[in-house]
Amino acid sequence: MSQNRRKFLSIAALTSGAMSLSGNLFAGNRLKEEEYDLPSSISNLKPMVDGIVPISIEERKQRIAKAQNLMSKEKIDAIFLEGTASSFYFTGMRWGQSERTFGLVIPASGAIAYVCPKFEEDRAMELINPVFGDEVRCWEEHESPFALIAGIVKDRGVKHKRIGMEERVRFFIADGVKKAAPGFEIVDATPITAGCRMYKSKAEIALMQKSSDITIEAYKAAFATIRPNMSQAAFSGNISAAFRKLGYSGGAMVIVGKYSALPHGSIVPQTIREGDVVLVDGGTSCEGYASDISRTIVVGKPSQRQTDVWNLEKEAQDAAFAAIKIGATCESVDAAARAVIEAAGFNKNYKLPGLPHRTGHGIGLEGHEWTNFVKGNMTKLAPGMCFSDEPTISIPGEFGIRLEDCLYIGDDRPYFFSKQSISIEQPFG
Protein backbone atom coordinates (compact mmCIF):
# COMPACT_ATOMS: atom_id res chain seq x y z
CA MET A 1 0.00 0.00 0.00
CA SER A 2 1.42 3.40 -0.97
CA GLN A 3 2.05 6.16 1.56
CA ASN A 4 -0.62 8.35 -0.10
CA ARG A 5 -3.13 5.55 0.09
CA ARG A 6 -2.42 4.98 3.78
CA LYS A 7 -2.83 8.70 4.43
CA PHE A 8 -6.13 8.72 2.59
CA LEU A 9 -7.51 5.79 4.54
CA SER A 10 -6.43 7.37 7.80
CA ILE A 11 -8.29 10.56 6.94
CA ALA A 12 -11.32 8.53 5.87
CA ALA A 13 -11.38 6.70 9.17
CA LEU A 14 -11.38 9.97 11.08
CA THR A 15 -14.09 11.57 8.96
CA SER A 16 -16.43 8.67 8.33
CA GLY A 17 -18.08 8.97 11.72
CA ALA A 18 -18.63 12.69 11.48
CA MET A 19 -21.57 12.64 9.07
CA SER A 20 -24.83 14.04 10.34
CA LEU A 21 -27.84 11.73 10.43
CA SER A 22 -30.34 14.56 10.23
CA GLY A 23 -30.85 17.79 8.37
CA ASN A 24 -28.83 18.39 5.27
CA LEU A 25 -26.65 15.32 5.34
CA PHE A 26 -23.90 16.53 3.03
CA ALA A 27 -23.44 20.25 2.53
CA GLY A 28 -22.20 19.91 -1.01
CA ASN A 29 -20.05 22.83 -2.16
CA ARG A 30 -18.19 21.73 -5.24
CA LEU A 31 -14.58 20.94 -4.47
CA LYS A 32 -11.32 20.89 -6.36
CA GLU A 33 -10.15 17.42 -7.32
CA GLU A 34 -7.66 15.82 -4.99
CA GLU A 35 -5.36 13.19 -6.34
CA TYR A 36 -4.87 9.98 -4.41
CA ASP A 37 -3.58 6.58 -5.25
CA LEU A 38 -7.14 5.35 -5.77
CA PRO A 39 -8.66 2.33 -7.51
CA SER A 40 -9.14 2.91 -11.23
CA SER A 41 -12.94 2.93 -10.97
CA ILE A 42 -12.61 6.10 -8.87
CA SER A 43 -9.52 7.71 -10.39
CA ASN A 44 -11.10 7.52 -13.86
CA LEU A 45 -14.15 9.57 -12.84
CA LYS A 46 -14.58 13.00 -14.41
CA PRO A 47 -16.24 16.06 -12.85
CA MET A 48 -20.02 16.32 -13.33
CA VAL A 49 -20.22 20.09 -12.98
CA ASP A 50 -21.50 21.12 -16.41
CA GLY A 51 -25.04 22.13 -17.29
CA ILE A 52 -26.07 23.22 -13.78
CA VAL A 53 -28.55 26.10 -13.66
CA PRO A 54 -28.73 27.84 -10.25
CA ILE A 55 -32.01 29.13 -8.88
CA SER A 56 -32.72 32.49 -10.48
CA ILE A 57 -33.33 35.81 -8.73
CA GLU A 58 -36.78 35.90 -10.33
CA GLU A 59 -37.70 32.55 -8.78
CA ARG A 60 -36.54 33.73 -5.35
CA LYS A 61 -38.70 36.85 -5.77
CA GLN A 62 -41.67 34.59 -6.51
CA ARG A 63 -40.92 32.59 -3.37
CA ILE A 64 -40.93 35.74 -1.23
CA ALA A 65 -44.21 36.85 -2.82
CA LYS A 66 -45.76 33.46 -2.06
CA ALA A 67 -44.55 33.64 1.55
CA GLN A 68 -46.06 37.09 1.93
CA ASN A 69 -49.36 35.88 0.51
CA LEU A 70 -49.36 32.98 2.98
CA MET A 71 -48.59 35.37 5.84
CA SER A 72 -51.64 37.43 4.94
CA LYS A 73 -53.80 34.29 4.96
CA GLU A 74 -52.35 33.12 8.29
CA LYS A 75 -52.67 36.61 9.81
CA ILE A 76 -48.94 36.86 10.50
CA ASP A 77 -47.24 40.26 10.26
CA ALA A 78 -43.74 38.92 9.57
CA ILE A 79 -41.52 35.88 9.94
CA PHE A 80 -38.00 35.70 11.30
CA LEU A 81 -35.38 33.30 9.90
CA GLU A 82 -31.85 32.55 11.02
CA GLY A 83 -29.21 32.16 8.33
CA THR A 84 -30.01 28.50 7.62
CA ALA A 85 -31.78 26.62 4.82
CA SER A 86 -34.88 28.81 4.65
CA SER A 87 -32.72 31.93 4.44
CA PHE A 88 -30.92 30.34 1.49
CA TYR A 89 -34.24 29.35 -0.05
CA PHE A 90 -35.60 32.90 -0.11
CA THR A 91 -32.44 34.96 -0.61
CA GLY A 92 -29.62 32.69 -1.78
CA MET A 93 -27.66 33.54 1.37
CA ARG A 94 -26.40 31.16 4.06
CA TRP A 95 -24.91 32.48 7.28
CA GLY A 96 -25.17 29.68 9.81
CA GLN A 97 -25.81 29.90 13.54
CA SER A 98 -23.74 31.07 16.47
CA GLU A 99 -24.43 32.58 19.87
CA ARG A 100 -24.69 35.98 18.11
CA THR A 101 -28.08 36.58 16.55
CA PHE A 102 -28.06 37.03 12.80
CA GLY A 103 -31.15 36.68 10.67
CA LEU A 104 -33.72 38.25 8.42
CA VAL A 105 -37.26 39.46 8.71
CA ILE A 106 -39.64 38.80 5.84
CA PRO A 107 -42.65 41.09 6.39
CA ALA A 108 -46.14 40.42 5.08
CA SER A 109 -45.53 43.44 2.84
CA GLY A 110 -42.41 45.38 1.99
CA ALA A 111 -38.73 44.54 1.64
CA ILE A 112 -36.68 42.07 3.67
CA ALA A 113 -34.47 43.50 6.42
CA TYR A 114 -31.54 41.93 8.26
CA VAL A 115 -30.32 41.94 11.86
CA CYS A 116 -26.56 41.58 12.20
CA PRO A 117 -23.74 41.95 14.75
CA LYS A 118 -22.09 45.30 14.00
CA PHE A 119 -18.61 43.87 13.51
CA GLU A 120 -20.02 41.45 10.90
CA GLU A 121 -21.73 44.15 8.83
CA ASP A 122 -19.14 44.31 6.05
CA ARG A 123 -19.16 40.54 5.65
CA ALA A 124 -22.95 40.49 5.64
CA MET A 125 -23.06 43.13 2.90
CA GLU A 126 -20.88 40.88 0.76
CA LEU A 127 -23.48 38.11 1.03
CA ILE A 128 -26.76 40.04 0.95
CA ASN A 129 -28.38 40.54 -2.44
CA PRO A 130 -29.92 44.02 -2.24
CA VAL A 131 -32.60 43.14 -4.78
CA PHE A 132 -34.53 41.48 -1.90
CA GLY A 133 -33.93 44.32 0.55
CA ASP A 134 -30.76 46.07 1.67
CA GLU A 135 -31.62 47.32 5.14
CA VAL A 136 -29.27 45.95 7.81
CA ARG A 137 -29.86 46.86 11.45
CA CYS A 138 -26.77 46.23 13.51
CA TRP A 139 -26.25 45.63 17.21
CA GLU A 140 -23.10 46.07 19.26
CA GLU A 141 -21.80 43.36 21.56
CA HIS A 142 -23.36 44.93 24.66
CA GLU A 143 -26.74 45.49 22.97
CA SER A 144 -29.71 43.22 22.35
CA PRO A 145 -30.72 42.28 18.78
CA PHE A 146 -34.25 41.36 19.75
CA ALA A 147 -35.59 44.89 19.89
CA LEU A 148 -34.19 45.39 16.38
CA ILE A 149 -36.20 42.42 15.11
CA ALA A 150 -39.35 43.74 16.77
CA GLY A 151 -38.62 47.21 15.38
CA ILE A 152 -38.41 45.95 11.80
CA VAL A 153 -41.78 44.22 12.18
CA LYS A 154 -43.39 47.36 13.58
CA ASP A 155 -41.87 49.58 10.89
CA ARG A 156 -43.14 47.35 8.09
CA GLY A 157 -46.72 47.60 9.38
CA VAL A 158 -48.67 45.70 12.03
CA LYS A 159 -52.17 44.32 11.59
CA HIS A 160 -52.31 41.19 13.71
CA LYS A 161 -49.49 41.50 16.27
CA ARG A 162 -48.21 38.04 15.32
CA ILE A 163 -44.58 37.24 14.51
CA GLY A 164 -43.75 33.85 13.02
CA MET A 165 -40.56 32.01 13.98
CA GLU A 166 -39.15 29.47 11.55
CA GLU A 167 -38.62 26.06 13.17
CA ARG A 168 -34.81 26.34 13.06
CA VAL A 169 -34.90 29.55 15.12
CA ARG A 170 -33.51 28.83 18.59
CA PHE A 171 -35.48 29.38 21.75
CA PHE A 172 -33.34 32.20 23.14
CA ILE A 173 -34.09 34.29 20.05
CA ALA A 174 -37.84 33.58 20.03
CA ASP A 175 -37.98 34.28 23.77
CA GLY A 176 -35.94 37.45 23.37
CA VAL A 177 -38.26 38.79 20.68
CA LYS A 178 -41.29 37.93 22.80
CA LYS A 179 -39.91 40.02 25.66
CA ALA A 180 -38.90 42.85 23.31
CA ALA A 181 -42.36 42.99 21.71
CA PRO A 182 -44.92 42.85 24.53
CA GLY A 183 -48.41 42.38 23.23
CA PHE A 184 -47.19 40.41 20.22
CA GLU A 185 -47.85 36.69 19.83
CA ILE A 186 -44.92 34.52 18.74
CA VAL A 187 -46.24 31.79 16.43
CA ASP A 188 -44.93 28.91 14.34
CA ALA A 189 -43.83 30.01 10.87
CA THR A 190 -43.93 26.47 9.47
CA PRO A 191 -47.18 27.10 7.53
CA ILE A 192 -45.21 29.76 5.66
CA THR A 193 -41.82 28.13 5.21
CA ALA A 194 -43.12 24.62 4.59
CA GLY A 195 -45.96 26.06 2.55
CA CYS A 196 -43.31 27.31 0.14
CA ARG A 197 -40.43 24.83 0.39
CA MET A 198 -42.50 21.63 0.35
CA TYR A 199 -43.50 22.18 -3.29
CA LYS A 200 -40.53 22.17 -5.64
CA SER A 201 -40.26 24.03 -8.92
CA LYS A 202 -38.91 22.53 -12.13
CA ALA A 203 -35.60 24.27 -11.43
CA GLU A 204 -35.35 22.69 -7.98
CA ILE A 205 -36.26 19.26 -9.32
CA ALA A 206 -33.56 19.58 -11.99
CA LEU A 207 -30.94 20.28 -9.30
CA MET A 208 -32.15 17.33 -7.21
CA GLN A 209 -31.96 15.15 -10.30
CA LYS A 210 -28.36 16.21 -10.82
CA SER A 211 -27.55 15.50 -7.19
CA SER A 212 -29.02 12.00 -7.50
CA ASP A 213 -27.17 11.33 -10.77
CA ILE A 214 -23.88 12.32 -9.11
CA THR A 215 -24.58 10.04 -6.15
CA ILE A 216 -25.28 7.02 -8.33
CA GLU A 217 -22.06 7.54 -10.28
CA ALA A 218 -20.06 7.86 -7.04
CA TYR A 219 -21.68 4.71 -5.68
CA LYS A 220 -21.01 2.70 -8.83
CA ALA A 221 -17.34 3.62 -8.75
CA ALA A 222 -16.97 2.93 -5.03
CA PHE A 223 -18.95 -0.32 -5.05
CA ALA A 224 -16.50 -1.67 -7.62
CA THR A 225 -13.80 -1.47 -4.91
CA ILE A 226 -15.53 -3.47 -2.20
CA ARG A 227 -13.79 -6.68 -1.15
CA PRO A 228 -13.60 -9.08 1.80
CA ASN A 229 -11.47 -7.89 4.74
CA MET A 230 -11.94 -4.25 3.74
CA SER A 231 -12.60 -1.97 6.67
CA GLN A 232 -15.82 -0.03 6.95
CA ALA A 233 -13.76 3.18 7.06
CA ALA A 234 -11.84 2.32 3.90
CA PHE A 235 -15.00 1.68 1.92
CA SER A 236 -16.60 4.86 3.27
CA GLY A 237 -13.43 6.71 2.30
CA ASN A 238 -13.66 5.39 -1.25
CA ILE A 239 -17.21 6.69 -1.51
CA SER A 240 -16.14 10.16 -0.36
CA ALA A 241 -13.19 10.08 -2.77
CA ALA A 242 -15.54 9.22 -5.64
CA PHE A 243 -17.66 12.26 -4.85
CA ARG A 244 -14.56 14.45 -4.82
CA LYS A 245 -13.47 13.16 -8.21
CA LEU A 246 -16.90 14.07 -9.53
CA GLY A 247 -16.41 17.60 -8.18
CA TYR A 248 -18.53 17.52 -5.00
CA SER A 249 -18.37 16.90 -1.30
CA GLY A 250 -20.44 13.94 -0.24
CA GLY A 251 -20.27 10.65 1.51
CA ALA A 252 -22.19 7.78 2.94
CA MET A 253 -22.77 5.82 6.09
CA VAL A 254 -21.56 2.23 5.67
CA ILE A 255 -23.07 -0.46 7.92
CA VAL A 256 -21.87 -4.06 7.87
CA GLY A 257 -23.26 -7.45 8.89
CA LYS A 258 -25.46 -7.62 11.98
CA TYR A 259 -25.03 -3.86 12.48
CA SER A 260 -27.05 -3.24 9.32
CA ALA A 261 -30.13 -4.03 11.42
CA LEU A 262 -29.50 -0.70 13.17
CA PRO A 263 -30.95 1.84 10.71
CA HIS A 264 -28.28 4.43 11.52
CA GLY A 265 -25.50 2.00 12.29
CA SER A 266 -23.20 1.49 15.23
CA ILE A 267 -20.10 3.14 16.68
CA VAL A 268 -18.39 -0.28 16.64
CA PRO A 269 -15.69 -0.44 13.91
CA GLN A 270 -16.63 -3.02 11.30
CA THR A 271 -14.79 -5.16 8.78
CA ILE A 272 -16.46 -6.47 5.64
CA ARG A 273 -16.41 -10.28 5.41
CA GLU A 274 -17.51 -12.74 2.78
CA GLY A 275 -21.27 -13.21 3.03
CA ASP A 276 -21.86 -9.94 4.91
CA VAL A 277 -24.74 -7.62 4.19
CA VAL A 278 -23.38 -4.12 3.45
CA LEU A 279 -25.84 -1.21 3.68
CA VAL A 280 -24.80 2.17 2.25
CA ASP A 281 -26.81 5.37 2.84
CA GLY A 282 -25.68 8.83 1.77
CA GLY A 283 -25.54 11.48 -0.90
CA THR A 284 -24.37 14.93 -1.87
CA SER A 285 -25.95 18.23 -2.86
CA CYS A 286 -26.00 20.40 -5.97
CA GLU A 287 -26.53 24.14 -5.50
CA GLY A 288 -27.77 23.22 -2.03
CA TYR A 289 -30.28 20.56 -3.14
CA ALA A 290 -29.75 17.15 -1.54
CA SER A 291 -29.79 13.55 -2.63
CA ASP A 292 -30.31 10.59 -0.30
CA ILE A 293 -29.84 7.09 -1.70
CA SER A 294 -29.40 3.71 0.00
CA ARG A 295 -28.20 0.46 -1.50
CA THR A 296 -27.83 -2.92 0.18
CA ILE A 297 -25.70 -5.75 -1.19
CA VAL A 298 -24.05 -8.94 -0.02
CA VAL A 299 -20.32 -9.50 -0.47
CA GLY A 300 -20.02 -12.78 -2.30
CA LYS A 301 -22.98 -15.10 -2.79
CA PRO A 302 -26.08 -14.12 -0.81
CA SER A 303 -27.93 -16.70 1.24
CA GLN A 304 -31.52 -17.58 0.48
CA ARG A 305 -32.57 -15.78 3.65
CA GLN A 306 -30.78 -12.60 2.61
CA THR A 307 -32.25 -12.82 -0.88
CA ASP A 308 -35.79 -13.38 0.37
CA VAL A 309 -35.67 -10.41 2.74
CA TRP A 310 -34.08 -8.21 0.05
CA ASN A 311 -36.86 -9.15 -2.38
CA LEU A 312 -39.48 -8.37 0.27
CA GLU A 313 -37.90 -4.97 0.86
CA LYS A 314 -38.05 -4.27 -2.87
CA GLU A 315 -41.73 -5.29 -2.92
CA ALA A 316 -42.44 -2.90 -0.03
CA GLN A 317 -40.62 -0.05 -1.78
CA ASP A 318 -42.65 -0.73 -4.94
CA ALA A 319 -45.90 -0.80 -2.95
CA ALA A 320 -45.13 2.61 -1.42
CA PHE A 321 -44.41 4.07 -4.83
CA ALA A 322 -47.61 2.60 -6.30
CA ALA A 323 -49.63 4.19 -3.47
CA ILE A 324 -48.47 7.70 -4.35
CA LYS A 325 -51.47 9.35 -5.98
CA ILE A 326 -52.27 13.03 -6.16
CA GLY A 327 -54.75 13.70 -3.37
CA ALA A 328 -53.82 10.59 -1.39
CA THR A 329 -52.52 11.02 2.16
CA CYS A 330 -48.93 10.61 3.28
CA GLU A 331 -50.21 8.07 5.80
CA SER A 332 -51.54 5.83 3.02
CA VAL A 333 -48.07 5.49 1.46
CA ASP A 334 -46.57 4.33 4.74
CA ALA A 335 -49.46 1.90 5.22
CA ALA A 336 -48.92 0.36 1.78
CA ALA A 337 -45.27 -0.47 2.43
CA ARG A 338 -45.93 -1.63 5.98
CA ALA A 339 -48.73 -3.98 4.82
CA VAL A 340 -46.32 -5.87 2.55
CA ILE A 341 -43.78 -6.39 5.31
CA GLU A 342 -46.36 -7.35 7.93
CA ALA A 343 -48.09 -9.81 5.57
CA ALA A 344 -44.78 -11.70 5.36
CA GLY A 345 -44.89 -12.30 9.13
CA PHE A 346 -42.90 -9.36 10.44
CA ASN A 347 -44.08 -7.34 13.42
CA LYS A 348 -46.55 -4.45 13.32
CA ASN A 349 -46.39 -0.92 14.72
CA TYR A 350 -42.66 -0.29 14.36
CA LYS A 351 -41.70 -3.34 16.44
CA LEU A 352 -38.75 -5.53 15.49
CA PRO A 353 -38.11 -7.55 13.50
CA GLY A 354 -39.89 -5.37 10.96
CA LEU A 355 -40.05 -1.79 9.73
CA PRO A 356 -38.93 0.41 12.66
CA HIS A 357 -39.40 3.87 11.14
CA ARG A 358 -41.47 5.90 8.69
CA THR A 359 -41.47 4.81 5.05
CA GLY A 360 -40.07 8.10 3.80
CA HIS A 361 -39.22 11.72 4.50
CA GLY A 362 -39.40 14.94 2.57
CA ILE A 363 -36.20 16.13 0.90
CA GLY A 364 -34.98 19.32 -0.74
CA LEU A 365 -32.50 21.86 0.62
CA GLU A 366 -32.22 19.58 3.62
CA GLY A 367 -31.77 15.84 3.53
CA HIS A 368 -34.79 15.55 5.82
CA GLU A 369 -37.53 18.17 5.58
CA TRP A 370 -41.32 18.45 5.31
CA THR A 371 -43.25 16.16 5.20
CA ASN A 372 -43.13 12.43 5.97
CA PHE A 373 -44.70 9.15 4.87
CA VAL A 374 -45.79 8.15 8.36
CA LYS A 375 -48.85 6.93 10.25
CA GLY A 376 -51.15 9.77 11.20
CA ASN A 377 -49.91 12.24 8.59
CA MET A 378 -53.01 13.27 6.67
CA THR A 379 -51.20 15.75 4.44
CA LYS A 380 -52.44 15.37 0.86
CA LEU A 381 -49.95 14.57 -1.88
CA ALA A 382 -49.59 17.20 -4.57
CA PRO A 383 -47.37 17.98 -7.56
CA GLY A 384 -43.90 19.25 -6.66
CA MET A 385 -43.58 17.31 -3.41
CA CYS A 386 -40.39 15.27 -3.02
CA PHE A 387 -39.77 12.27 -0.76
CA SER A 388 -37.53 9.35 -0.02
CA ASP A 389 -39.00 5.85 -0.39
CA GLU A 390 -37.13 3.63 2.11
CA PRO A 391 -39.10 1.00 4.06
CA THR A 392 -36.22 -0.66 5.94
CA ILE A 393 -36.52 -4.24 7.17
CA SER A 394 -34.48 -4.72 10.37
CA ILE A 395 -33.81 -8.13 11.90
CA PRO A 396 -31.81 -7.68 15.14
CA GLY A 397 -28.80 -9.96 15.42
CA GLU A 398 -28.94 -10.87 11.72
CA PHE A 399 -29.00 -7.97 9.26
CA GLY A 400 -31.06 -5.15 7.84
CA ILE A 401 -32.06 -4.31 4.29
CA ARG A 402 -32.79 -0.79 3.07
CA LEU A 403 -33.43 0.35 -0.46
CA GLU A 404 -33.84 4.10 -0.74
CA ASP A 405 -34.60 6.13 -3.81
CA CYS A 406 -36.00 9.65 -3.76
CA LEU A 407 -38.84 10.82 -5.95
CA TYR A 408 -40.83 13.83 -7.03
CA ILE A 409 -44.53 14.05 -7.78
CA GLY A 410 -45.20 15.34 -11.27
CA ASP A 411 -48.45 16.69 -12.64
CA ASP A 412 -49.72 13.15 -13.21
CA ARG A 413 -47.72 10.69 -11.11
CA PRO A 414 -44.52 10.16 -9.11
CA TYR A 415 -41.11 9.81 -10.73
CA PHE A 416 -37.94 8.40 -9.15
CA PHE A 417 -34.80 10.49 -9.33
CA SER A 418 -32.70 7.32 -9.42
CA LYS A 419 -33.25 3.91 -11.00
CA GLN A 420 -34.14 1.29 -8.42
CA SER A 421 -31.92 -1.67 -7.62
CA ILE A 422 -32.65 -4.66 -9.83
CA SER A 423 -31.67 -7.44 -7.40
CA ILE A 424 -29.48 -8.11 -4.39
CA GLU A 425 -26.67 -8.81 -6.86
CA GLN A 426 -27.44 -5.81 -9.09
CA PRO A 427 -27.69 -2.68 -6.95
CA PHE A 428 -27.90 -0.29 -9.88
CA GLY A 429 -30.69 -0.24 -12.43
Q: Give residue-wise pLDDT tens across range 15-53.
A: 333 333 333 333 333 444 444 589 999 999 999 999 999
| Cβ-contact 355, 346 below 8 angstroms | yes
**Is 113 a residue whose pLDDT tops 80?**
yes
Task: Quote the crossing angle between the two packed helices 171-180 and 146-156, to the nearest 10°.
Answer: 60
Distance CA 161, CA 108 (A): 12
Query: In 3-state terms, what secondary structure has residue 355?
Result: coil
9 pLDDT band (50/70/90 cuts)? very low
| Cβ-contact 383, 206 below 8 angstroms | no
| Cβ-contact 299, 273 below 8 angstroms | yes
The reply to whether omega before 371 is within 30° of 0 (cis) is yes
| Cβ-contact 11, 36 below 8 angstroms | no
| Cβ-contact 296, 424 below 8 angstroms | yes
**Residues ≥6 apart with Cβ < 8 Å to 368:** 22, 23, 25, 361, 362
Task: Tell me what percent of the chain is helix, strand and coil, each rounded to the nearest 5.
Answer: 40, 20, 40
**Dihedral sign of CA atoms 330, 361, 423, 208 in order:** positive
The domain 57-197 having CATH identifier 3.30.465.10: the answer here is: no
What long-range pairs does 262-267 form, CB within 8 A, spacing at least 24? Answer: 262/394, 262/400, 263/356, 263/357, 263/392, 263/394, 263/400, 263/402, 264/21, 267/17
According to the model, what pLDDT value does residue 295 have? Answer: 98
Pairing of strands 405-409, 399-401: unpaired
Distance CA 368, CA 107 (A): 27
Q: Give residue-wise pLDDT tens across range 229-244.
A: 999 999 999 999 999 9
Mean per-residue pLDDT over the chain, rounded = 92
| Cβ-contact 277, 308 below 8 angstroms | no
**Is 2 a residue whose pLDDT tops 50?**
no
Tell me if domain 3-30+200-416 and domain 57-197 are identical in fold. Answer: no
| Cβ-contact 341, 355 below 8 angstroms | yes
- The runs of H, that is alpha helices, within 1-115 are 3-15, 40-43, 57-74, 85-91
The mean pLDDT of 306-335, rounded to a whole number, is 98
Question: What is the CB neighbour count within 10 angstroms for residue 138?
Answer: 16
Distance CA 336, CA 319 (A): 6
- The runs of H, that is alpha helices, within 224-329 are 232-246, 304-322
| Cβ-contact 157, 178 below 8 angstroms | no
According to the model, what pLDDT value does residue 172 have? Answer: 98
| Nearest C-alpha neighbor of 299 from the set 279, 269, 270, 281 | 279
290: Cα separation from own chain's centroid? 5
Architecture of domain 3-30+200-416: Alpha-Beta Complex (3.90)
Q: Give residue-wise pLDDT tens across range 351-380.
A: 999 999 999 999 999 999 999 999 999 999
According to the model, what pLDDT value does residue 37 have? Answer: 80
According to the model, what pLDDT value does residue 20 have? Answer: 32
Identify the DSSP state of 262: S
Three state DSSP letters for 11-24: HHHHHHHHCCCCCC
Query: In 3-state terms, what secondary structure has residue 52?
Result: coil
Sketch the domain layout of the chain as residue ranges. 3-30+200-416, 57-197
